[in-house]
Amino acid sequence: MADRAPFLPENDYRDTWCGGVLDDLVGKKVRVAGWVNRRRDHGGLVFIDLRDRTGIVQLVFDPADSSEYFELGHALRPEWVLSAEGEVVRRDPETVNPEIGTGEFEVRVSGARILSEAETPPFEIEGFRSEVGEEARLRHRYLDLRRPVMQEAIEIRHRLVTEMRSFLDGEGFLEIETPVLTRSTPEGARDFLVPSRLHQGSFFALPQSPQLFKQMLMVAGFERYFQIARCFRDEDLRADRQPDFTQLDIEMSFVGIEDVISLNERLMAHVLSEMGVEVEIPFPRISHDEAIARFGTDRPDMRFGHEVIDLTEVLRGTEFKAFGGVIEGGGAVVGINFGPRELPRAQLDGLIEEAKELGAKGLVWAYCEDGGWRAPIAKFLSDDEQAGLNQALGASEGDLMLVAADSPPVAAGILGGLRTRLAERWDLIPETGDSLVWVIDWPMFERDERTDRWIALHHPFTSPAGELDPDDPGSARALAYDLVWNGVELGGGSIRISDPDLQKEVFAIIGIDEEEAADRFGFLLEALRYGAPPHGGIAYGVDRFAALLAGFDSIRDVIAFPKTASGNDPLTGAPSPVEEPQLRELGLTRGGAARTKPADG
Ligand code: ASP
């Protein structure tokens, strides 16, 4: 990091970064400041590793140089804050420390001052061990963030966002802020509500995304907008979700799908290249249906094969009930050939358990042997069926095949889920670089089994491709696109509806009648009546993007002050109860003035 150390104006505390104590300063006097990373007493000398944002430098307190400061050096403890000056010297070859950038040099202290003492930290900064629990890390996040890897993660995030900004600025995009206190603009999750004191009984919502505002900015004529936007979704706890998170939000006017895709490919190529990842554009595209069929997921990791193969036709008419029954009921049998991989029985049984976790009723494993199958169920399949399955799966002697039967998307989804889980475990991903792929041609609507209603798969402001047939919403395709990086969704967006009548039609399909549409989205429908240009955009999850670049599994590691996995903040104690008077002022006490709308509107 030292080579990117910013210019440092000299002052009383320091004139040199710790990480900058290098060759060119040998023989010169420097002043450095930072935190005591480590102290070692050695044969009458005190060695201090001093740490600032740019790195670590070794200070030597030698009574021969100055007894006054030697005492001070002796008193220092981890995490005390120190300013020290002295001459930079080259270390003896046998004491060079290759672990740190300044390891060939040290500063012989001739003056020092303690700027701040520190209590013993609840966990070590230097020598931090991964057993330190998340609760403890977040409770003292300012200490956790002192660790160089955390500093680096936060810096990577900063650089990512800076590169996004600079690219979009260069393309004529304006960064425009949209409100945080607003009316709810649903993206399918629950809103966080903020009670209004001045309008008692009414509530603001925190935005789930700036979706409707960015569309209105297009109506307003800004043409190219972006924002690093805070978004809020009050979702049930799921692994690695944060109730507040950051999106790079983009919207453009007078564009079709190709314009948005090509701008975003250049944006990605630029940003990734600045972050040290080279990718080729244009990115490949895959339709939603093909992604589900071949990879069992709408986030296909296309760095490796082992695709899902449809075996339904091979098995049509089979005597084996577990397959035959599913096929007769309109379902599918699908399989993946995982290549030569002899596993002990316990592990094969373990795979069946994993498939069940993914929603499977069962899973069949089989080895290709002597042109047929070696498998617990082999005796139920004819020789022809076994040979046909091997052929369809491209199996050669010793290959392991996993097979599932269910409705087509469910069966593919189970195998797709296993494929993703097994990718790392079985080292299936070759070092051939990154895979960025657009998933396009999304269905416009999806049937929600629970409520027996159509819901918008992206969001209801997404334009259909071509005419919309209100009698057959299931067949409609959306002008929507997702960008998937190595199997992770980086972002998604769509071309929007710019015709208010079409917008009303879409609302009607998802069960929002005229009255409700006017009540909830009247402002958007009205804006669309005043000359809305064709427009579209996209949003990227900045936290996930930064985590991937920094090499962390959890987005919490690239957020300075995240919530725990259970949605609270151990540092500040949020969320917290509030005092009665505060509630009273908001009209939220039992006897207060809160008015509520009847649930049915
Ligand atoms: N508003 C969408 C989201 O937050 C993104 C978009 O359609 O631009 O996912």
pLDDT of residue 46: 96
Which residue minimizes the CA distance to atom 7 of ligand 1? Answer: 493
Q: Which residues in 48-77 are b (16+ Cβ under 10 Å) and which e?
A: bbbbbbbbbbbbbbbeebbeebbebbeebe
211 close to ligand 1 (CB < 6 Angstrom): yes
Q: What band does 6 get if pLDDT is binned at 50, 70 and 90?
A: confident
Q: Which residues partner with 484 through β-bridges?
A: 437, 489
User: Taking residues 512-535, what's their average pLDDT?
Assistant: 96
Query: Left (φ > 0), alpha (ψ -120 to 50) or beta: where does 223 sit?
Result: left
Mean pLDDT computed over 299-325: 96
Task: Kindly give the distance from the C-alpha atom of residue 186 to the centroid of ligand 1, in angstroms, as a whole number.
Answer: 11
Atom number of ligand 1 nearest to Cα 247 = 4
Tell me what pLDDT residue 595 has.
47
State mean pLDDT over 364-388: 96
pLDDT of 48 strictly over 50: yes
Residue with CA at minimum distance from ligand 1 atom 6:
493
CA distance 42 to 38: 13
Judge whether residue 594 has pLDDT over 80. Answer: no
> Closest residue (by CA) to atom 4 of ligand 1?
209
Q: 518 CA distance to ligand 1 centroid (A)?
A: 22
Total number of residues shown for the chain: 601
Q: For 24-40, what is the mean pLDDT?
A: 97
User: What's the pLDDT band for 24 if we cut at 50, 70, 90?
Assistant: very high
Q: Which atom of ligand 1 is nearest to the CA of 208?
A: 4
Give me the mean pLDDT over the 422-450 stretch: 93
Mean pLDDT of the chain: 94
Tens of pLDDT, residue by residue over 569-581, are: 999 999 999 999 9
Residue nearest to atom 3 of ligand 1 (CA): 539
pLDDT reported for residue 600: 43
pLDDT tens digits for range 57-101: 999 999 987 778 999 999 999 999 999 999 999 999 999 999 999
Tell me, using a 6 A CB cutoff, whether residue 178 lines ligand 1.
no
List the beta strands (DSSP E) in 349-460: 364-369, 372-374, 399-406, 436-440, 442-443, 445-448, 453-456
pLDDT digits (tens, 9 = 90+) for 139-157: 999 999 999 999 999 999 9
187 lines ligand 1 (CB under 6 A): yes
418 C-alpha vs ligand 1 centroid, how far in Å? 29
Buried b (16+ CB within 10 A) or exposed e, 170-197: eeebeebebebebebbbbebebbeebee
C-beta 463 within 6 A of ligand 1: no
> Residue 65 has what pLDDT?
77
Whole-number Å distance between alpha carbons of 312 and 327? 7
pLDDT given for residue 590 in this prediction? 64
pLDDT of residue 364: 97
Residue 185 has pLDDT above 80, yes or no: no
In 104-224, where does DSSP find H-type helix? 134-139, 141-144, 148-170, 211-219
pLDDT for 279 beyond 70:
yes
Across the range 491-506, mean pLDDT stands at 97
Kindly indicate the confidence band of residue 555, based on its pLDDT and cuts at 50, 70 and 90: very high
DSSP code at position 348: H
pLDDT range class, residue 344, cuts 50, 70, 90: very high
Share of the chain above pLDDT 90, in %: 89
User: 432 pLDDT exceeds 90?
Assistant: no
Reply yes or no on whether the pLDDT at 599 is more than 50. no
Query: How far is 358 from 414, CA to CA, in rounded Å?
Result: 6
- Residues 113-132 have a mean pLDDT of 92
Q: Which one is predicted more confidently, 285 or 600?
A: 285
Task: Reply yes or no on whether the pLDDT at 557 is more than 60.
Answer: yes
493 alpha carbon to ligand 1 midpoint, in Å? 5
Q: Rounded to an integer, what distance in angstroms lies between the CA atom of residue 583 and that of residue 276?
A: 51
Share of the chain above pLDDT 70, in %: 97
Arithmetic mean of pLDDT, 407-418: 96
User: What average pLDDT does range 253-277 have in this prediction?
Assistant: 97
| Range in 52-66, 216-230, 256-270 the model is least confident about | 52-66
Q: Over 70: is that where the pLDDT of 31 sits?
A: yes
* pLDDT at position 64: 87
Residue labelled with tokens 């020290």: 84
